[in-house]
Structure 1
Amino acid sequence: MGNPKSGAQGKVSVDKDIHIVVLMGGWSAERDVSLMSGKGVIEALGERGFTNVTPVDMDRNIARVLEELRPDIVFNALHGSPGEDGTVQGMMDLMGIRYTHSGLETSAVAIDKQLTKSVLEPHGIPMPPGKVVTSASLYEGDPMARPFVVKPVNEGSSVGIAIVTDESNYGHPISSRAKGPWQDFDRLLAEKYIEGRELTVAVMGDTPFCVTELKPKAGWYDYEAKYTDGKTDHVCPADVPEEIAEAMKAHALAAHRILGCKGVSRSDFRWDDEKGVDGIFLLETNTQPGMTPLSLVPEQAAAIGISYGELVEKIIEEALEG
């Protein structure tokens, strides 16, 4: 197997012949996004001169596959469970395989929105008030005043989110026959709906990139708006006051550090622009943000002068340093 070399000032210089497995796909609700992320990473590695890259579409024989392939490092391009919740990370820890992005403990906490809230809020990071509820309880009455948001406790990419308003057709209370996440998940996180604007900040190492505002052309920033070309305008950097941008970057960096994230993370925010800094709320921190052509992390990296290929290589460098 190839070996990383130590460069100047202790930095790792990555041999172009090390064996990199790009792990993608899987069986989560975010499989298609993961495949797009993996494809982008593979193409970037080729363009950067890496000569020994193996794509792996994860199935339930993944431990045997990795044992046979014996990679120097795995680029984890999985999204959702089990690639983002600590399950795959724990397996690779046991096998002694290095991998990119966050480790077992961080992944297990960050995928759980309620756990994330319990870890970050004591450090002064503002998050919307909320609580975990059973789906069955929603059929008996609202858990809080409308408008509120309900979403799966441990899914990403806006999978299974519903905004419940007085004008919604879900019923009063929510009808068990109404289409929504309560039909697919037993437990949900209910949170106060924050009026305002959708923004996000990526972080790598000790550096928050910038702030992007997301402006869906119709409706809100759901799964379709995220991953369908032309559905959402990205304003990067966002047209917000400097104090707002700096506050969001500080919150994103703090979340990255407190959770123990590695590689890149991305923290999503809602901002009620009528309330200034007090209107900023962190929604969640993603430990495996997308690397598709429409993804926000590569876009923000480009805005601060880091190309897609450089970003991929830097993520690998950091993983090899650990």
Structure 2
Amino acid sequence: MNETSSGGTARKPRVAVVFGGRSSEHGISCVTAGSVLAAIDREAYDVVPVGIATDGRWVLEADEPARLAIRGNDLPEVDAARSPVALMGAASGTDLVVTEPSAVPSVIGEVDVVFPLLHGPWGEDGTLQGMLEMAGVRYVGSGVLASAIGMDKAYMKVVLQAAGLPVTPGVVLTRAEWERDPIGCSARFEALGFPSFVKPARAGSSMGISKVHDATEVADALEEAFGHDPKVLVEQSMEGAREVECGVLGSLDGPPETSRPGEVRTGGDHEFYDFEAKYLPDQHTEIDIPADLPADTEQELRAMAVRAFEALSCEGLARVDFFVLPDGSLVINELNTMPGFTPTSMYPQMWAASGMSYPELVDRLVQLALHRDTGLR
């Protein structure tokens, strides 16, 4: 995919690594970007880090992966004081332009592919993907529809069920419904039984999730979730189930591939795989990769992961999370179209156990994007 510069010499494809964003997962996105910036092959690609500040401003970030690491319990963030940048259409493609106030715009160069490492709304939910489609820029990962469905857990369940896939029983509640009819909402909630989980319908990294043990905890759990999203999902707790995840990766010339599954086991004070257990040190979380599953169960799980990937029309990558019930049956918890992507995250670890290193995984995703056109496909 090397193109020719104005001087007639071949140039490396230019990859804009976009991260940060307006969602509550801003810091995790920055951590993910630091890992990708450190791993991407600079001999093969010209890399430009682009940060989106919490107020939505796009800036030309420093190419300093180490600055984007977690420091103790502190998450990094985009430096909003850096030079503003924008994507602008040009005759030959789409340029990245620095737009300093009171200065002539400066063209950094044409962008061949965007690697969007945003988590949560305003980035992972199809909004950024739609902008890139309009700009005619290739990008890593799923398109508008799959990204939007993957972000909204309520609609994800509808699509997966329509494809004949088993999902966790649940109900959807909105803030407006709760304020208008709390008694009726409580009845729908309690009909699922206890314990149950309350989660924002369109958030990730386990933010805003509560485990509810009885009716006295319902109101507080809903308010916690409503703090992240006016639409929440209430689901039965799959008591006694094992949490097992599987990575799905697109292919240039064949069907999607799956990784060996991995199992997450939480300990200490964590009743479930919450934000602290996922990202902060010393949280007594244990991970088994590959998961200790019977061969036929693993085969079924991996096949089901591909079915979920295709049901949502995913592209590039996804992580499919399962519950393995005590009787060995499988239930899909959710699908994540932009899973955590640090070297210690489940998705890259599962691929490492399957024979693909982190730099190889990054390269595979960029190549998939470079070989895929924008628009209907």
With the shorter chain as reference, the TM-score category is: 0.7 to 0.9
State the 1:207 CA deviation. 0.7
State the 1:30 CA deviation. 1.0
Aligned-partner Cα distance in 1 for 2:19–2:274:
22
Aligned-partner Cα distance in 1 for 2:221–2:274:
21
Query: Are 2:164 and 1:124 equivalent residues in the alignment?
Result: yes
Query: Are 2:359 and 1:299 equivalent residues in the alignment?
Result: no
Q: 1:185-241 CA deviation, whole Å, 9 max, x = no partner?
A: 332111111121111000002111011000112212011111123421110000121
Is contact 1:146-1:164 (8 Å) kept? Answer: yes
Aligned-partner Cα distance in 1 for 2:348–2:227:
34
Matches within 5 A, 1:195-234: 195=239, 196-205=241-250, 206-218=256-268, 219=270, 220-231=272-283, 232-234=285-287
Query: Which among 208, 213, 231 is matched to residue 187 of structure 1?
Result: 231
Q: Counterpart of 2:300 in structure 1: which amino acid?
A: A
Q: Counterpart of 1:276 in structure 2: which amino acid?
A: G
SS in 2 for 1:159: coil
Aligned-partner Cα distance in 1 for 2:85–2:199:
35
Aligned-partner Cα distance in 2 for 1:210–1:139:
44
Alignment CA distance shift 1:176-1:310 (3 Å) = closer
State the 1:81 CA deviation. 1.3
Match of 1:237 in 2: 290
Matches within 5 A, 1:67-82: 67=88, 68=97, 69=108, 70-82=110-122
Matches within 5 A, 1:54-73: 54-59=48-53, 60-62=56-58, 65-67=86-88, 68=97, 69=108, 70-73=110-113
Aligned-partner Cα distance in 1 for 2:288–2:221:
38
SS in 2 for 1:66: strand
Aligned-partner Cα distance in 1 for 2:227–2:29:
25
Q: How many residues align?
A: 304
Q: 1:275-318 CA deviation, whole Å, 9 max, x = no partner?
A: 222xx210111000111132111101111111100000000111
State the 1:184 CA deviation. 4.4
Query: Are 2:298 and 1:256 equivalent residues in the alignment?
Result: no
Aligned-partner Cα distance in 2 for 1:78–1:307:
22
SS in 2 for 1:33: helix
Query: Are 2:125 and 1:85 equivalent residues in the alignment?
Result: yes
Higher relative contact order, structure no. (Cα contacts within 8 Å, ≥ 6 residues apart): 1
Is contact 1:213-1:236 (8 Å) kept? Answer: yes
Q: 1:79-121 CA deviation, whole Å, 9 max, x = no partner?
A: 1111110000000111111110001111111111111111111
Query: Which among 154, 169, 178 is matched to residue 202 of structure 2?
Result: 154
Alignment CA distance shift 1:16-1:42 (3 Å) = farther
Query: Are 2:320 and 1:267 equivalent residues in the alignment?
Result: yes
Is contact 1:201-1:267 (8 Å) kept? Answer: yes
Q: Counterpart of 1:3 in structure 2: which amino acid?
A: E
Q: Counterpart of 1:221 in structure 2: which amino acid?
A: Y
Q: Counterpart of 1:98 in structure 2: which amino acid?
A: R
Give TM-score scaled by structure 1 length.
Answer: 0.88
Query: Are 2:334 and 1:289 equivalent residues in the alignment?
Result: no
Aligned-partner Cα distance in 2 for 1:51–1:150:
43
How high is the sequence identity, in percent, across the aligned residues?
Answer: 35
SS in 2 for 1:105: helix
Alignment CA distance shift 1:95-1:182 (3 Å) = closer
Match of 1:25 in 2: 20
Query: Which among 41, 44, 48 is matched to residue 50 of structure 1?
Result: 44
Query: Which among 331, 354, 362 is matched to residue 312 of structure 1?
Result: 362
Is contact 1:2-1:72 (8 Å) kept? Answer: no
Q: Counterpart of 2:29 in structure 1: which amino acid?
A: S
Aligned-partner Cα distance in 2 for 1:317–1:16:
16
Q: 1:33-73 CA deviation, whole Å, 9 max, x = no partner?
A: 11111111111114x52352111111434495222243111
Point out where structure 1 has 5 or more consecutive residues left out of the alignment: 5-14
Task: Note the aligned Cα RMSD (angstroms).
Answer: 2.3
SS in 1 for 2:302: helix
Matches within 5 A, 1:159-170: 159-166=207-214
SS in 1 for 2:86: helix
Alignment CA distance shift 1:84-1:183 (3 Å) = closer
Is contact 2:142-2:316 (8 Å) kept? Answer: yes
Match of 1:8 in 2: none
Query: Which among 17, 32, 46 is matched to residue 37 of structure 1?
Result: 32
Match of 2:149 in 1: 109
Alignment CA distance shift 1:291-1:229 (3 Å) = same
Q: Counterpart of 2:211 in structure 1: which amino acid?
A: I
State the 1:173 CA deviation. 6.2
Aligned-partner Cα distance in 2 for 1:242–1:113:
29
Aligned-partner Cα distance in 2 for 1:176–1:203:
36
Match of 1:7 in 2: none
